[in-house]
Amino acid sequence: MAKLPIINVPDPMLKTLSDPVGQVDDDLRRLMDNMLETMYDAPGIGLAAIQVAVPKRVIVLDTEGDEETGRKPVFLVNPEITWESEEFSVYNEGCLSVPEHYAEVERPATVKVKYFDYHGQQHEELMEGLQATCVQHEIDHLNGVVFIDYLSKLKRNMIIKKVRKATKDAMIL
Ligand code: GNR
Ligand code: NI
């Protein structure tokens, strides 16, 4: 497995509409393994392929596991939300492509998600709580949307400016 570099805002790649995957093969599984290692290393609870500069509709999630009790990775290929609750929940979200900035985002509390797994098997599953928030955040990435897009233009521009500066400073060090 290999750790991949994560791109940050305002990289225009993060605005890309990612392409559906044609088939789940060994090359795709290698990408998913590398994404999982990258996510655990960050550390994060979700990662979309576009965050490692690959415009494919692939997500990895692990909102439950930890090092002690064991990892619970979930791989989602071509995920689609087929139902969402009328009830909303608010979560203070962060993003590995927007390091060190957090903001409250309101999303449907429960969603039903149809997807193909690591072996190309199809599933349709109800997700709630943090997993529901996270899967919606990741599907947004596949559609070129980052959580700061839900904030005011003023807040978004301020965050982008700070991340850009921090990214630049990190390159000099
Ligand atoms: O690690 C992450 N934590 C998180 C917290 C609240 C809502 C969404 C997330 S996803 C984020 C990792 C990431 O950037 N995925 O795209
Ligand atoms: Ni993110």
> What are the counts of helices (DSSP H) followed by strands (DSSP E) for the chain?
3, 7
Structural domain span for residue 74: 12-172
Q: Give yes or no for residue 77 having a pLDDT over 90.
A: yes
Q: Among 13, 54, 76, 96, say which to mutate for ligand 1: greatest number of ligand atoms within 8 Å of CB.
A: 96
Residue 1 pLDDT: 84
Residues 6+ apart with CB under 8 A from 173: none
Would residue 134 count as lying in a domain?
yes
Is 142 part of a structural domain of the chain?
A: yes
> What is the Cα–Cα distance from 129 to 113, expressed in whole angstroms?
14
116-145 average pLDDT score: 98
Is the pLDDT score of 140 beyond 90? yes
pLDDT, mean over the chain: 97
| Residue 125: predicted pLDDT | 98
Phi, psi of 22 (to 5 degrees): -80, -45
Q: What is the CATH number of the domain that holds 114?
A: 3.90.45.10
> Is residue 65 assigned to a domain?
yes
For 11, the enclosing helix (H) or strand (E) is none
How many Å apart are CA 63 and CA 140, to the nearest integer? 17
Q: Which ligand is nearest to the CA of 49?
A: 1
Query: Do you find a cis peptide bond into 79, omega within 30 degrees of 0?
Result: no
Residue 40 domain-assigned (yes or no): yes
Catalytic residues, which ones? 138
**What is residue 62's three-state secondary structure?**
coil
Q: What is the pLDDT of residue 63?
A: 95
CA distances to 114, 159, 168 from 99, in Å: 29, 10, 13
Examine residue 7 and state whether it is found in any structural domain, yes or no. Answer: no
For the CA of 45, the nearest atom of ligand 1: 1
User: How is residue 68 written in tokens?
Assistant: 């002690």
Q: How far is the CA of 92 from the centre of ligand 1 (A)?
A: 10
| Average pLDDT of span 49-66 | 95
Instruction: Report whether residue 137 contacts ligand 1, using a CB cutoff of 6 Å.
Output: yes
Residue 121: inside a domain: yes
pLDDT at 171: 86
- Domains contained in the chain, number: 1
50-59, 63-72, 110-119, 148-157: least confident range: 63-72
For residues 67 and 69, what is the distance between their CA atoms, to the nearest angstrom?
A: 6
Judge whether 2 lies within some domain.
Answer: no
User: Is 44 touching ligand 1 by the criterion CB < 6 Å?
Assistant: yes
Q: How many residues does the chain have?
A: 173
Residue 58 lies in a domain: yes
What is the average per-residue pLDDT within 139-162? 98
